[in-house]
Amino acid sequence: MSGNFPEHGTTVSEDGSHPIFTETDTRRVRRSSSRVHRRRRAVVLVVVFALFVAVAVFAFQIITPLFQQQAAKDYAGPGHGSVNFVVDPGATASVVAVNLVQQDIVGSEKAFLEELTKANGAGSIQPGTFQLKLQMKASDAVAALLNADNSKVHYAALAQNLRQPEVLALLATSTGIPESEFTALAKDPSAFGLPAAATSLEGYLAPGEYRFPIDLSAKDILTQLVQHTKDELANAGVTTDAQQFRVLTIASIIEFEGNEANYPMISGAIENRLNNPNGETGGRLESDATVAYGLGIKTYNITDEQKNDAGNPYNTFVRPGLPVGPIGSPKQKAIEAAAHPQSNPYYFWVTVNLDTGETLYATTYAEHLANVQKYQSWCDANPGKCT
């Protein structure tokens, strides 16, 4: 048989042109449409769920930091190391909090301010220097600043080579004690057990970092500095008053004349001059540093007129022997070098490079002049460094 036959379940119209759908066909179409709708609903649900997840993740990222900010960061404590924290006069609690965070003493400003409020101490923080720790618990930092654990101190950093007026001014600034009190006390060296040759406390005000309890008086503080120097002299084997005064004077000179590497050699050259008054130097130290001290100035360049000024009691160009006293506050290294000079044949020395501290030595004045020329050449090549 040939020809086109309808599929099963379909009939042909009488004219053979249009198919007639049966009930079976209708159910099939409905089932197909239902499947399409279900697939579409599934796709929509997947898209909606994906959008919900995306929104949730975004919200979590935005909101979480806000909740974290609400819980103030605080260290567990007790902290480590040591840091000197300064509260300036007039500083508010907020300023103190900011500075504490910047120095990594507390974890957050909020934690500190909350603990300060709990302690009713917002207006109770006094100016001064406090010895604190890094990464402290906020409550511990509050307790320290309110002096609940007696940690408040006056911090003073005294550099080497400072002269007495500079030291006294720095002590006044660090402690809040009037400078006039320190100055008046320094006029009576005998009150601190110094020898009659000492006309002031110059040389005995030991450099270093100090943390003075806030209840110390000006005399207590100066006594502590003087005792520190006496202890260093004793450790160097220098015990009598006369020996201590002499060693301090030499130590103060060699600190200005060279660096630590050269202290023992310069000390030996100084002893050569002092012990040979008939030598080429006539027993004179000829130190620019002593002349500058007597003039009340600080300079590397001393004029011929200043060198010839016999009225300056610290002028070692015209006066043989040591000057009338120390010219600054020497540190332990200089004291040890002065107490134990290195034996050598030299009478002259000059630092020819102020950056590196390179120092050249000579046994004769002619050799020394050649070394001085090297210093002058260095100064010419480095303008402004030899003033």
Cα separation, 198 vs 200, in Å, equals 6
pLDDT for residue 53: 58
Q: What is the pLDDT along the chain (387 residues), one digit of tens a residue?
A: 444 433 444 444 445 555 555 555 555 545 555 665 666 666 666 555 666 656 555 655 655 554 444 568 999 988 898 888 988 888 899 999 999 999 999 999 999 999 999 988 877 788 888 889 999 999 999 988 887 556 677 888 899 889 999 999 999 998 889 999 999 999 999 999 999 999 999 999 999 989 898 889 999 999 999 999 999 999 999 999 999 999 999 999 999 998 999 999 999 999 999 999 999 999 999 999 999 999 999 998 899 999 999 999 999 999 999 999 999 999 999 999 999 999 999 999 999 999 999 999 999 999 999 999 999 999 999 999 998
Beta-carbon neighbour count of residue 237 at 10 Å?
11
* Stated length of the chain: 387
- Which residues are CB-contacts of 351 (< 8 A; sequence separation ≥ 6)? 257, 258, 259, 262, 357, 358, 359, 375
CA distance 238 to 355: 33
Q: Assess contact for 268 and 257: CB atoms under 8 A.
A: no
- Domains of the chain and CATH, by start: 80-150 (3.30.1490.480), 157-235 (no CATH), 241-381 (no CATH)
214 phi, psi to nearest 5 deg: -70, -15
Q: How far apart are CA 349 and CA 257, in angstroms?
A: 9
Alpha carbon distances (Å) from 216 to 43, 89, 91, 304:
82, 20, 24, 47
What is residue 84's predicted lDDT score, i.e. its pLDDT? 87
Q: Are 148 and 118 in contact (CB under 8 A)?
A: no
Q: Give the up-direction half-sphere exposure of residue 49: CA atoms within 13 A in the CB hemisphere.
A: 6
| pLDDT tens column, 188-230 | 999 999 999 999 999 999 999 898 988 899 999 999 999 999 9
Quick count: other Cβ atoms within 10 Å of Cβ 201? 25
209 beta partners: 157
Q: What one-character DSSP code corresponds to residue 321?
A: B
Alpha-carbon distance of 257 to 265, in angstroms, equals 11
Q: Whole-angstrom Cα distance, residue 93 to residue 91?
A: 7
- The contacts found for 163-170 with CB under 8 angstroms, 24 or more apart, are 163/202, 163/293, 163/327, 163/328, 163/329, 164/200, 164/201, 164/202, 164/205, 164/329, 167/205, 167/225, 167/329
Helices (H), the chain: 23-70, 93-102, 109-118, 138-145, 164-175, 179-186, 218-235, 241-257, 263-274, 288-295, 304-307, 332-339, 365-381
**DSSP string over 59-125:** HHHHHHHHHHHHS-----S--EEEEEEEE-TT--HHHHHHHHHHTTSSS-HHHHHHHHHHTT-TTTP
Can you give the pLDDT at residue 4? 41
Residue 75 has which token pair? 């260290």
Q: Which two tokens stand for residue 32?
A: 């197909």
